[in-house]
Structure 1
C-alpha cells in the first residue's frame, strides 16, 4: 500500500518541477480553467498580457512558499534525500474543513499571534524571517495548513482531499458488507472463512486490529478471537504490515504478536511511520516491548529511550557528552501516528531539542533508569520539546509513579501548562484519571502532585 496520498515521487528533483512548470504553461495557453485560476491567484491580471515559461516557474515557486524560482531551485538542489519523509494525515473530511482551518489561522496571523507567526515562519519560506504576521495573505495560511498535513502545496491538498474521503467511504462500506464474516471470525467458523477472497481477508484483519472496529465488540490486549480463525485470514492476506500498524496504534498486544510470528515486517513504514513509532507515540508500552524485541526501527535516540535501552542511549553520546551526529536520523511527530494531535513545528538540529524528545518519551513509558541518567547528564526536568508537554505531562496518563516522584525530586514544576489542553500536572491527573478517582495509583499521584 502506498504511504502517499499525492502523486509526487518520494524525492522530487528539479527536472520534475521544470516539467510541472511546462505543463502549467501549456495548460494556461489552451485556456484550461484550473490553470487559469492558479495563475490568477499569484499574478492577478498581469498574466493576461503575457505568460511565459518563466512566469509559470514563478507561479510554481510561489505555490511552494518561495519568493522566486531561483530560491525554489536552490532549495531543491540543496536538500538531502533523507529530508523528505512522506506522510499522509488526511482525515477523510470535506475540503471546507481545511479551508476553515486556513481562515482561522489567517485570523490569528492578522492578530499577530506568536504561535501563528512561528507556524508561518516554519512552513512558508518567503516568510522565514518575518517579524510580524499581520501582513500575511490567505495563500500563506493555506500553505501552512497544507504543509502540516504532509502536502507541499494547497493545490495538492485539495486535489487529494476528495480521494481521501472516497477511500474512507469505500473502507466503511467494505466493513459493513463483511459484518457476518467478522462474526464468523469471532465464532471461530473456519469453514466459512475458507471461502473468503484475499481482499476480504485483508479487510477483516484490518478490522481485528482496531479496538472497536467490529460492531458491538471491544478488543483489548488479548487476541479476542479464536487463533485458528485469525490464521485462516492471515493465510489469505496480501499484506500483514497494515494490520500491524493498526495493532500497534490500538494496543492489540497479542494480535501484534501473532502478526509478527506470521511474517509481518516490524520495520515496514506505512503512512510514513513504523509500528514501533506508532506504539511509542500512542503510549502502548507492552507493544513497544514486543516490537523492540524484534528490532528497534528506526534506530534513534528517542526510540532507544522509549524502549528503555540505556546502553544504546549512552552510545548516542561521545565521551565528552556531545550528542553524536547519527543519533537523530528519525524524529517523532504525534501527527504522523494518527494520534489526533496537531503537527509539531519542523524539528531542528538543536541537541537540547533532540535529547528532550528522548527524555519525555522515556518518561511516557516509565523508563526510570533512562530518565535518571538523562537528568544526571544535564537534561532539565521541565524540558518540553513539543506541544509544551513536560516529562510530568507524559508520565501522568500511564501512572508512572516512580518517574513522577523522580521528576518532582529533581525540581520539576507541576504548575506548567501544556499547549494543547492548557492544563498543569493536576489538570492532567483529572483529565486522564477521572474515571478512576479512587484507584490507588490515582490517589498516590494526587498525593505527589497536589498542593
Structure 2
C-alpha cells in the first residue's frame, strides 16, 4: 500500500482508470480497500464517482466500508448521487449505507442529487426513505433547492415523497418564496396545490407575492393574487 507522492495507492489508481481486473488482483493480494488519499477519498468513493459498477461490486464484496467520509464529509453514496450513477447508488443502498448522512455543508445524498438535477437518483433515494426535510448549512432543503432552480419534476417528486412544504431557510424563505423570487411559475403552481402558505412572510415581512413583484415576475404575482381572490370568494 505504498502511496505515490500525490497520495494514491495502486487500488485507487486502478479504480480511477476503470481497470477492473487490476483492481481484482490487488484486492485478492490483500490491498487495503479502505485506504484514504490526501483528500480522504477511498477506492469505493472513487468508483462511485466514476460510475464503475463492476469495481464497486468488487469492493463491496471485499468488505469495503460503505460509510467512510472524505475531508468534506462526503460518503460514496453522495458521490454517486451527485454524479447521477443510479446503479451505484442502488448497490450502496443494498449494502446498508446510511442514506441520511450530511457532509460538511449539511448536504445529504438527496440534496446532492437535487443540486445536480439527477432525477432518477433522487427518485431512488426518495423511494428508499431518505429524509426529505434535512437542511444544509443555510437551512435549505431539497425542496427549496429544487424550487429555486425551477426543477418541476424534482419538486413534484419531493412533494409526493412527503416533504414539508413550508419549511424555512436562514433567510426565512419558504420554497414558494424561492419559486416566486426566481420566476418559476410551474413550481409555484405545484407548491400551491400542495398547500404552500401564500401569505407566509420572511424575516422582513415580505410574502411570496411581494417577492414576485419586486423581482419583476408578473405571471407568478398574478397567480398568487388570483389564489387570494379565490380564497376570499370562497369565504
TM-score range (shorter-chain normalised) is: 0.5 to 0.7
Structure 2: state its 5+ residue gaps. 70-74, 135-139, 148-154, 199-207, 222-235
When the two chains are superposed, the root-mean-square deviation of aligned CA atoms in Å is 4.4
Give the Cα separation in 2 of the matches to 1:208 and 1:179: 9
CA contact (8 A) 1:188 1:226 kept: no
Q: Look up the match of 1:279.
A: 113
Q: Look up the match of 1:246.
A: 79
Residues 191-242 of structure 1: CA deviation (Å, up to 9, x unaligned): 432321143386211212324xxxxxxx4xxx54356424335x13363561
Shift of the alpha carbon at 1:371? Answer: 4.5
Shift of the alpha carbon at 1:381? Answer: 11
Structure 1 residues 203 and 377 mapped into 2: Cα distance closer, same or farther (>3 Å)?
closer
Give the Cα separation in 2 of the matches to 1:285 and 1:258: 17
Secondary structure of the 1:237 match is coil
Residues 78-105 of structure 1: CA deviation (Å, up to 9, x unaligned): xxxxxxxxxxxxxxxxxxxxxxxxxxxx
Q: Look up the match of 2:228.
A: none
1:237 aligns with 2:65: yes
CA contact (8 A) 1:266 1:274 kept: yes
How many pairs were matched up?
Answer: 178
Structure 1 residues 360 and 172 mapped into 2: Cα distance closer, same or farther (>3 Å)?
farther
Which residue of 139, 142, 147 maps to 1:303? Answer: 142
CA contact (8 A) 1:206 1:246 kept: yes
Give the Cα separation in 2 of the matches to 1:381 and 1:186: 56
CA contact (8 A) 1:185 1:229 kept: no
1:411 aligns with 2:219: yes
Give the Cα separation in 2 of the matches to 1:260 and 1:411: 42
Larger radius of gyration: 1
Q: Look up the match of 1:255.
A: 88
Give the Cα separation in 2 of the matches to 1:246 and 1:291: 13
Higher helix proportion (structure 1 or 2): 1
Structure 1 residues 266 and 311 mapped into 2: Cα distance closer, same or farther (>3 Å)?
closer
Q: Look up the match of 1:196.
A: 31
Larger RCO: 1 or 2 (CA < 8 Å, sep 6+) = 2
Q: Look up the match of 1:357.
A: 178
What TM-score do the two structures reach when normalised by structure 2? Answer: 0.55
Secondary structure of the 2:79 match is helix
Give the Cα separation in 1 of the matches to 2:79 and 2:44: 10
CA contact (8 A) 1:359 1:371 kept: no
Give the Cα separation in 1 of the matches to 2:181 and 2:128: 23
